[in-house]
Amino acid sequence: MKYKNRLGLVVPYLYIMPAILIVTLIIVFPVVNIIVNSFFTTVGGKEVWFGINNYIMIFKDDLFWTSILNNLRLFASIPFITVFAILIAALLYDKILGWHFYQSIIFTPYILAIPVVGIVFSYILQYKGVLNTLLASIGCESLVKDWLGTPKLAIWSIVAVVVWKQIGFGVVLFLARLGSVPPVLYEAATVDGAGWWKKLIHVTLPQLATTIEFFIIINIINMLSWVFDFVFVMTGGGPVNSTYVMEYFIYQKAFAGSLVNMGEAAGVIVLIFAICIIAAESIIRKRLEDFQ
């Protein structure tokens, strides 16, 4: 009997064991390992203590600053995604004619693979591509540009593609939240004679506030650490390294160059950013759950 009881105490841990093991191997151990290794350097196949020199090397590397700046430039997509997603969600919430069709279409890019999207857009945006043909045919020759081949322009072209890809998730997220707004609020506003715009400002936006915060935070995480695919496929970091982002910097250092420890130090910097944002995210997630 005693034996059985003790066994009973262990049972729950047996259930969670496989999950814990694989998560430890794939996520926890690497996170610890990358922090430790960022203070070492590799000499003749051996890890040697290197202090903060990897970090100093990174801070002296122009490409690092280009990468960080580009991640920040990608943040420019967030206001566009958010504003358009709110507008579209508010319209669809009105159940305008065909709203269900519109919602299905607008969500579609979100399920496409970024590499697929990136390749298709690189054909649309290339100098002899469809976009320029269209621009020329409507008489906007001055707008004809090498969208992905001009250093100052390429990152903004990527921003546009990111907006195209991500908008659908925002629409669906906001629409879902609006579904749980008490109808009374809109009825009351209608009785008070509020028009569409006033309802948007005084009812919809306040009701969506927490969801908007949450959405912006997810997008900040995305722009900081989930944009490798766009860059790898559309520009490969070019032209003249103008579209490097942090992930691409790490990838290049570790897998193309052989500056593995420098890549690890860069990884730690991304990790620090990510942890700050994830902390903010979990606070907001808590608030979201509280009022539902």
Partner 1 sequence: MKTIHSAKGNSLIYKAISQVFMLVMTLLILFPIYFMFINSFKSRPDFIKNPIGLPAPFTVQSFLDAFAGKNFVSWFGNSIFLMLASIVITTLFSCLAAFAFARMDFKGSKTIFNMMIPLMSIPPIIMLIPLYKVMAVLNLVNTRASVILIYSGIMVPFTIFLLKNFFANVPKSLTEAAFIDGATQFQTFYKIIIPLSKSALITASIVNIVWVWNELLIALVFLQDESMRTIIVGLTLFKSRYTLNVPVIMAGLSIATIPMLLVYIFGQRYLVQGLLSGAVKE
In the range 151-210, which residues lie near partner 1 by CB under 8 A?
Answer: 164, 167-169, 172-173, 176-177, 183, 186-187, 190, 196, 199, 204
Of the residues 57, 58, 81, 114, which one makes contact with partner 1 according to CB under 8 A: 114
Is residue 29 part of the contact set for partner 1 (CB under 8 A)?
yes
Q: 75, 80, 271, 287: which one contacts partner 1 (CB under 8 A)?
A: 271
Kindly tell me which of 146 and 281 has the beta carbon lying closer to partner 1.
281
DSSP state of 181: S
Contact 114, 233 (CB under 8 A): yes
Spatial separation of the C-alpha atoms in residues 185 and 181, rounded to whole Å: 8
30 binds partner 1 (CB under 8 A): yes
Among 7, 27, 140, 209, binds partner 1 (CB under 8 A): 27
Told to check if 3 binds partner 1 by CB under 8 A, we report: no
Whether 83 and 142 have beta carbons less than 8 Å apart is answered as no
Q: Which of the ranges 63-71, 74-82, 151-159, 278-286 carries the binding residues for partner 1, by CB under 8 A?
A: 278-286
Helix 77-93 crosses helix 99-111 at what angle (to 10 degrees)?
150
Q: Please, which of residues 219-238 interact with partner 1 by CB under 8 A?
A: 221, 224-226, 228-229, 232-233, 236
Nearer of residues 152 and 291 to partner 1, judged by Cβ? 291
CB closer to partner 1 out of 144 and 260? 260
The strand pairing partners of 138, in sequence order, are none
Nearest distance from residue 258's CB to partner 1, in Å? 12
* Cα dist from 70 to 65, 92, 227, whole Å: 8, 34, 11
Write the burial class of residue 282 (CB in 10 Å: 0-12 exposed, 13-18 middle, 19+ buried): exposed
Residue whose C-alpha is closest to residue 158's, from 97, 114, 217: 114
Cα distance between residue 32 and residue 155, in whole Å: 32
Shortest CB 150 distance to partner 1, Å: 19
Rounded Cα–Cα distance for residues 131 and 145 (Å):
9
Among the listed residues 52, 56, 72, 116, the single contact to partner 1 using CB under 8 A? 116
Nearer to partner 1 among residue 55 and residue 110 (C-beta)? 110
Contacts (CB under 8 A) with partner 1, residues 71-90: 84, 87-88, 90
Phi, psi of 126 (to 5 degrees): -65, 165
What string marks each residue from 126 to 145 as x (binds partner 1 by CB under 8 A) or -?
A: ---xx--xx-----------
